[in-house]
Structure 1
Amino acid sequence: MTTSKTAGPVLWNVDAKGVAHVSFNRPDVNNAYNGELIEGVLEALDTLSNTEGLRAVLLTGNGKHFQAGADLKWINEVRNADLAENVRVSRATADAVRLLNLAPVPTVALVQGGCFGGGTGIVSACDVVIAADNAMFSIAEVRWGLTAAIIIPQLNDAIGVRQVRRYALTGERFDADTARRIGLVHEVVPLGELEAAGHRIIDHLLQNGPEAIADTKSLILEGAFADIPNESYNELVESHAAKRQSEEAAEGLLSFKEKRAARWG
């Protein structure tokens, strides 16, 4: 069983303590996700789920930013494909977040710089999130005529419906201290201390019984917003795909390309 990947949009390795270090690796585009990155996350999670002795996952983003949401150039290419391809892409993206949320071992995310759109869905699916003091967040999909449908359940779990109603509707950016106040992150540290803070959390986790941790996490997730039946999950995926192909999304993505304000209605 391969326990490392050293090239590509998602890198990982498992150390002697059973800790998987997983990194987004598209720093030239601020780790924005495209089809290859999504497939990389799915491959990593599939491989790690079958890795004997795995104790925890430490998730990071290479470069100045953790994860800047979707690569909108790629999103625009996808929206021009047929509906089946759009549904496939939405399902793969949703599956990546869902599998991260349900991982039987603890997941720890270290966030620096930008964490936008789908990036907020990723951190909301992690068990422990530590942010550097330079981190910025947004649930930005509405700015481009899109929806955050496939990450709304995890966001509802992480920050509560009341906060999602604000930040998913305004699309506004908020800083690390606000993210801590509303519950998206657990702790804010200086940028230079981010890695050490992550290892401190990992050390705490490794002191605990792995079966007890898995059982406790399973109990916590029972009845959570993200614990939805397959029918509801499929509806979210299909809604997410359909909105990408709407006229409103076409205008939103064109406004991004042309670096102008969108002309709604």
Structure 2
Amino acid sequence: MTYQFLQLEQANQVATVWINRAELHNAFNTAVIEELQHCFTYLNTQNDVRVVVLAGRGKSFSAGADLNWMKQAGQASQQDNEADALKLAKMLQSLACLRQPTIARVHGIAFGGGMGLASACDICIASTDAKFSTSEVRLGLAPSTISPYVIRAIGARQASRYFLTAERISAEQAKNIGLAHEVTLPEQLDSKLDEIIQALLLGGPQAQASSKQLIQMVDQQILTEQLLLQTAQHIAHVRQGNEAKNGLSAFLDKQSPSWIKTTA
């Protein structure tokens, strides 16, 4: 796939999506959003892709929205303004709902929408030089479209502070509040990334897709009889699949399941 502002690399069942607008710290505008949407939609159909990594070229992961783009959008009509914001919202949804596990590889700044991208991924690993912020209020804005993913990652209580103060969040603090799963030295970032990728490749792809759906179904739900029934129906459906049958048989027979690729 060829893009103007992205680079897509695919190797060994892993797709890496590089945001490639380094001169502007990978800030996104309508074109970048549309390319990300197209790329995520494409990857969702690729059975040979087991893991999707989101990363940024240059010094930063992503500075979030291009301020010139945001200013122009604010001057547009209400209808055009909403349509523009909805493109961003749907792109983030496409990332969050990819059937493959997703990893944000964060270095440098991840501000505003950049923090939203990191939050929308299933897993976030950060370099010790990473800095996060929901910086919108300092521009007279609100972190509206990224809020479902950031609040899911850090919780409403932490969001109550950082949405309102726009303080910069260090990598260690990001880990403490649940945003980053791992923090590592810059030179060790890719080795930690590979470690997590190898762990993901040991799982069944259909089982992982079902597990992602399970999290969305159960998160923030009250423990009711209806929820118990939903979870029972969920595992019953998964157990009846060919992947589960293969995985259980392989384990009992002390063999590798079919989804694990062996190298000669």
Question: How would you bin the TM-score normalised by the shorter chain?
Answer: 0.7 to 0.9
What is the aligned counterpart of 1:130 among 125, 149, 159? 125
Residue by residue over 1:145-173, the C-alpha shift from the partner in whole angstroms, topping out at 9 and shown as x without a partner, is: 11111111111110111000000011111
Structure 1 residue aligned with 2:155: 160
What is the aligned counterpart of 1:182 among 174, 177, 182? 177
Structure 1 residue aligned with 2:6: 10
TM-fit CA distance, 1:120? 1.0
TM-fit CA distance, 1:53? 2.1
Structure 1 residue aligned with 2:214: 219
**TM-score scaled by structure 1?**
0.80
What is the aligned counterpart of 2:66 among 64, 67, 71? 71
TM-fit CA distance, 1:132? 0.3
5+ residue gaps, structure 2: 221-264
Distance 1:95 1:223 in 2: 22
Distance 1:69 1:13 in 2: 22
Structure 2 residue aligned with 1:210: 205
1:195 aligns with 2:173: no
5+ residue gaps, structure 1: 226-265
**TM-score scaled by structure 2?**
0.81
Structure 2 residue aligned with 1:253: none
What is the aligned counterpart of 1:108 among 80, 103, 109? 103
TM-fit CA distance, 1:18? 2.1
Segment drifting more, 124-133 vs 45-54 = 45-54
Distance 1:171 1:136 in 2: 12
Q: Partner of 1:213: helix, strand, or coil?
A: helix
TM-fit CA distance, 1:223? 4.1
TM-fit CA distance, 1:218? 0.9
What is the aligned counterpart of 1:51 among 22, 46, 59? 46
**What stretches of structure 1 move > 4 A for 4+ residues in a row?**
none
Q: Partner of 1:183: helix, strand, or coil?
A: coil
Residue by residue over 1:191-211, the C-alpha shift from the partner in whole angstroms, topping out at 9 and shown as x without a partner, is: 111112111111110111111
Q: Partner of 2:132: helix, strand, or coil?
A: strand
Structure 1 residue aligned with 2:139: 144
1:118 aligns with 2:113: yes
Q: Partner of 1:150: helix, strand, or coil?
A: coil
Distance 2:9 2:143 in 1: 30
Structure of greater relative contact order (alpha carbons < 8 Å, 6+ residues apart): 1
Distance 1:224 1:33 in 2: 30
Instruction: Give matches, 1:80-99, under 5 Å.
Output: 80-99=75-94
Q: Partner of 1:11: helix, strand, or coil?
A: strand
Structure 2 residue aligned with 1:235: none
Distance 2:15 2:88 in 1: 21
Q: Partner of 2:7: helix, strand, or coil?
A: strand
TM-fit CA distance, 1:134? 0.3
Instruction: In structure 2, give the amino acid aligned to 1:183.
Output: G
Instruction: Give matches, 1:28-47, under 5 Å.
Output: 28-47=23-42
